[in-house]
Amino acid sequence: MSLTTGPAAPQAAVGKSPDGGREAGRTRRDRRSLGKHNLTGWLFSTPFLVLFGVFMLFPIVATLLMSFTDFGARDVTRPLEAEFVGLDNYTQLFQDDKFLKALFNTGYFVVVGVPATIVLGLLAAILLNNGIDRARTLFRVGFYAPVVTTIVAVAVVWRFVLDPSDGLIASLASEVGLSAPDFLGSETWAMPSLIAMAVWRNLGTVMVLCIAGLQAIPSEVREAARLDGAGAWQELRGITVPLLRPTLLYATVITTIGYLNVFEEPFVMTQGGPSDSTLTVSLDMYREGFNFFHMGYASAMAYVLFVVIMGITVLQLRLLKDNTR
């Protein structure tokens, strides 16, 4: 039996060729077999559709509805009794200093973190693609290892690095007679520390994407450039980056989305502190939703974040897309 769901009826119809009243019979049978094929298609799609409906569509719609209510802990046992509050959650959000701070912090994370991740990821890729011939695999693994390491293990290492009294940086600094700042305990330094950690964790992803992109650039182009006397910088600007443009666009978009959602770093390292200086939107949402059970409010937050992410992604695609091709 054919698996296609479209009007690919002929094969089946041919098999059971009618013996009389051709035109009418055929049409009828075609229609029937079309229906049958559709049914098959639906049957095969059902597991996906059910899962999609239960775990994606329903939550998305439910969250939207919930964001218009004051859904709280006691409503869990009787969800239909949650009070409808219209747009109150949304208007309240934009008067909530904590949320605005979280929004600002998230923006900070993206504005500093994304360029750093992309640039360092690209440099690592170029380095490993051209520069280092020996132990290339080792370096690739080294850069990529943080991506696949669980955040809890990463946190242990970074806490050791950043610890103000006996951490790696503090010890090194005191060797040369300097004093390291209290990275995670200071409002000024906590965010940059988390960004550094995120960049370290994520540049591997960008690197892998870029290496793939670099290897797709024909070597003739490079050779031609070199013959024309281009230096490394000119080659980078004139050849590598332009030809990697689609890759870099993709990397930028996914990194931005990832950083707008940033949750794990502040959750395991600082719990949003000190004084909310590392509170991100996702962390604030988690707290409101799961610590305080302000589900309605947290849902509204989720939708605001969703709209922000959507907006920024569309903007990026518009601005960065190569319109010349």
Partner 1 sequence: MNRAVRTGSIAFTLASALTLTACGGSDGAGVAADAEQTLTVWAMGTEGEKLGDVVQEYEKSHSNITVKVTPIGWDVAHQKLVAAAAAGKLPDVVQMGGSYLGEFADMGVLEPVNTGTFKEDDFFPAAWQQGSYDGKTYGVPWYVDTRVLFYRTDLAEKVGIEAAPDTMAGLRSTAEAYQKKAGTKWGLSIQPGGLDTVQSFYQFLYSAGGAVIDDDGKAVVNSAAAVKALENYGSYFEKGLSEKSVRPGYDVTKDFNTGAVPMFFGGPWITNLLDENSPDLKGKWAVAPVPADEASVSMAGGSSLAVSADSDHKAAAKELVSYLTGAKGQADWFERTNDLPANTAAWKTGDLATDPTLQVWRKQMDTARATPSQPRLTEITSKVDTAIESVTQGKSSAKEALDKAQSEIEGLVQ
Nearer to partner 1, 33 or 278 (CB): 278
**Residue 159 interacts with partner 1 (CB under 8 A): yes or no:** yes
Judged by CB under 8 A, the stretch of 36-44, 108-116, 142-150, 302-310 that binds partner 1 is 302-310
Cα–Cα distance for residue pair 265/118, rounded to 1 Å = 19
Answer for which of 73, 153, 212, 317 binds partner 1 (CB under 8 A) is 73
Name which of residues 170 to 229 contact partner 1 (CB under 8 A).
182, 184-187
Nearer to partner 1, 124 or 269 (CB): 269
Structure token pair of residue 63: 């969250």
Smallest gap from residue 73 Cβ to partner 1 (A)? 6
Backbone angles phi, psi at 151, to 5 degrees: -60, -30
Smallest gap from residue 263 Cβ to partner 1 (A)? 8
**Residue 60 interacts with partner 1 (CB under 8 A): yes or no:** yes
Smallest gap from residue 232 Cβ to partner 1 (A)? 38
**Residue 84 interacts with partner 1 (CB under 8 A): yes or no:** no
**Residue 249 interacts with partner 1 (CB under 8 A): yes or no:** no
Residue written as tokens 């490079």?
A: 222
Residues 6+ apart with CB under 8 A from 216: none
Length of the chain counted residue by residue: 325
Task: Judge contact between 316 and 110, C-beta under 8 A.
Answer: no
**Residue 102 interacts with partner 1 (CB under 8 A): yes or no:** no
Judged by CB under 8 A, the stretch of 84-92, 124-132, 142-150, 157-165 that binds partner 1 is 157-165
Judged by CB under 8 A, the stretch of 27-35, 118-126, 299-307, 314-322 that binds partner 1 is 299-307
User: Residue 298: helix, strand or coil by DSSP?
Assistant: helix
Answer for which of 4, 149, 188, 271 binds partner 1 (CB under 8 A) is 271
Judged by CB under 8 A, the stretch of 37-45, 71-79, 172-180, 316-324 that binds partner 1 is 71-79
Cα–Cα distance for residue pair 199/154, rounded to 1 Å = 13
Cα–Cα distance for residue pair 246/325, rounded to 1 Å = 11
Answer for which of 222, 250, 273, 316 binds partner 1 (CB under 8 A) is 273
**Residue 56 interacts with partner 1 (CB under 8 A): yes or no:** yes
Q: What is the dihedral of CA 234, 240, 246, 251, to 10 degrees?
A: -100
Nearer to partner 1, 41 or 274 (CB): 274
Backbone angles phi, psi at 9, to 5 degrees: -65, -35
Answer for which of 118, 128, 196, 305 binds partner 1 (CB under 8 A) is 305
Residue 68's nearest CA partner among 285, 284, 296, 295 is 296
Cα–Cα distance for residue pair 7/10, rounded to 1 Å = 8
Residue 213's nearest CA partner among 301, 90, 129 is 129
Alpha helices in the chain (DSSP H): 10-15, 22-52, 58-66, 88-93, 97-126, 136-148, 151-162, 168-175, 187-215, 219-227, 232-235, 241-260, 264-269, 281-286, 295-320
Nearer to partner 1, 143 or 259 (CB): 259
**Residue 2 interacts with partner 1 (CB under 8 A): yes or no:** no
- Could you list the residues that contact partner 1 (CB under 8 A)? 54-56, 58-60, 62-63, 66, 71, 73-74, 76-79, 159, 163-165, 182, 184-187, 257, 260-261, 263, 268-271, 273-275, 281-282, 285-286, 289-293, 295, 298-299, 301-303, 305-306, 309-310
